[in-house]
Amino acid sequence: MNAMQHGVGRPAAGGSWLGLRPGTLAALVAIAALLVPLSVLSQPADSANPGGVLARLRTKYGLSQSHLGAVDPTGETMRFATLGLKNVAVTLLWDRANHYKKVEDWTNLSATLEQLTRLQPNFYSVWDFQAHNLSYNISVEFDDYRDRYAWVMKGIEFLRQGIGLNQREPRLLGRMGWFIGHKIGKSDERKQFRRLFKADDDFHDRDDPDRTLPERDNWLVARGKYRAGQQLADSGVPLKTTALIYHSEPMMAAINYARALEEDGTFGAAARDAWTLANEELNRFAQRDIPTTWDVPIQLRLREAEAERAQRLADELEALLPGRFAGLVARRREALTPEKLAALEVPERDRTEQQQPLAAQAEKALAVTWKDVAIEAPADLRDRALDLVRRRAEAEERGSMIEQYRGIVNFDFWKASCEAEVTDEALLAREKTWQADREFAAARLQPARQAYEESFRGWRQVLDASKILREDRLTGDDIAEVVARYRKVLEQLDEPFPQPFVLQDMLDLATPTAAAAP
């Protein structure tokens, strides 16, 4: 009996010579066939070959790691070792990171986030999260301010690593500027931190070996980081954050630099130069095109120009249709019922419940617009009038947009401050306040009193020249706190508080808590 008689070498019913079903064999053949175009599509690039379609697309749109920043061999190896399960590993690591943060296990949190940076080197939040953890969460666990400073700098150095791997990410440069500026310059230990930062040769030698000692001020270095981020964004790199706030940061860093100098007791020409720099940054910010939610870019400096344009167009309408605006208002007023007229003439706070809706209806009827007037214009003037109305509405709308955006960053206040602080009166007032506080702390009461009163006379001149500062409650609070210390000097000298007081209007404006400050 031969092999064929025993069935050896003959496929089973419905099978193949390899023992596979025809459908399975066909699938394997299809997979093998697909490997050919896949290998062509995914062929890597090198110095002599642009690579496959995917490699060329990565090059075209700058998506490869070499385009995004430096290549981290360790991270590349870790991602390869996950065998396509990188996203699963990342999810598990983020879950562990959140747990460690919740239980304040900073050591394990730091280690977990280090692993995340290897697997997600181009994910902005990993770098921001870890840097904040080092500079803010871990640093406060130490009692010695030198240890705290060391951990603050660890967070800043961590951001430097992230910037190296993400050279097309302006937000990381902005965060580095924020940490250097605010964490060092606004902390309770800011005097010690600012001194340590200026003397930190390790940081400055890596960051900019040519930086002079005066340029090592943390606020100036922060401003440089913000400016570098701006330049990157201006080169066409997408800015994935609020442009208005981001582009205001160099201005605020310069303002904080000027304030920090005065807080340290530096006045005269140095303080004037610092406020001049702040004013230059403010003007540069005001001239920048800022994208808006209306898809219409604006410049903060143009609010007054738009208001003037709207008024000029209104004047042209009045010249084209003389007296017609007032005439339409008069006709509508004549059409009001006696009850509505009577309700309208009653002051708003004194209106009865019945008069309130009548007055509202009357005000609505009398709310005449130039468009109402233009619609009723003679036929030969109507098109010209409607065109002027449209242009005036555009000017008003753009002015309103600029007004809203200026309000978000408190632009009017900072503009008034930069203009005022550079004057002789403001510089003298700041210096005298600083001197008075030092004299008071040293229990030299008469010199303190004299210096406070000189500062008040200086502030009076500054405030009289600036309506914005004169009506600003925060300015009132700042002055009220100084006056509260002046009151304590007078109390210890058994002398009455002067009446009338030269800055009484600012005390009236200030909040009660500020006026009672020690």
Using only the alpha carbons of the chain, give its radius of gyration: 35
DSSP 432-452: HHHHHHHHHHTT-HHHHHHHH
Dihedrals phi, psi of 290, to nearest 5 degrees? -110, 120
Query: In 264-354, which residue ranges form alpha helices assigned H by DSSP?
Result: 269-286, 303-320, 324-334, 338-345
Instruction: Give the largest Cα separation in the chain, rounded.
Output: 132
Phi-psi region of 290 (alpha: psi -120 to 50; beta: other; left: phi over 0): beta
pLDDT for 111: 85
- pLDDT at 7 (0 to 100): 46
Residue 500, preceding bond cis, omega within 30 degrees? yes
pLDDT score at 183: 97
Could you give phi then psi for residue 298, rounded to 5 degrees? -130, 160
Residue intervals of the chain classified under CATH 1.25.40.10 are: 79-286
Residue bearing tokens 């981001």 = 246
Residue 65: predicted pLDDT: 47
CATH number for 79-286 (one of 1.10.10.10, 3.40.50.1460, 2.30.38.10, 1.25.40.10): it is 1.25.40.10
Strand partners, 298: 290
Task: Quote the CA–CA distance of 282 and 418 in Å, as a whole number.
Answer: 8
User: What would the two tokens of residue 469 be?
Assistant: 């500062």
Question: Are 169 and 156 in contact, with CB atoms under 8 Å apart?
Answer: no
β-pair partners for 290 = 298
Distance CA 330, CA 139 (A): 70
Q: Averaged in consecutive runs of 10 residues, what is the pLDDT profile of the chain (518 residues)?
A: 47 51 73 70 62 60 47 49 64 86 83 82 88 91 94 94 92 97 96 97 95 97 98 94 97 98 96 98 98 92 97 97 96 95 94 94 95 96 97 96 97 97 97 97 97 97 97 95 96 95 95 68
Measured in residues, the chain has a length of 518
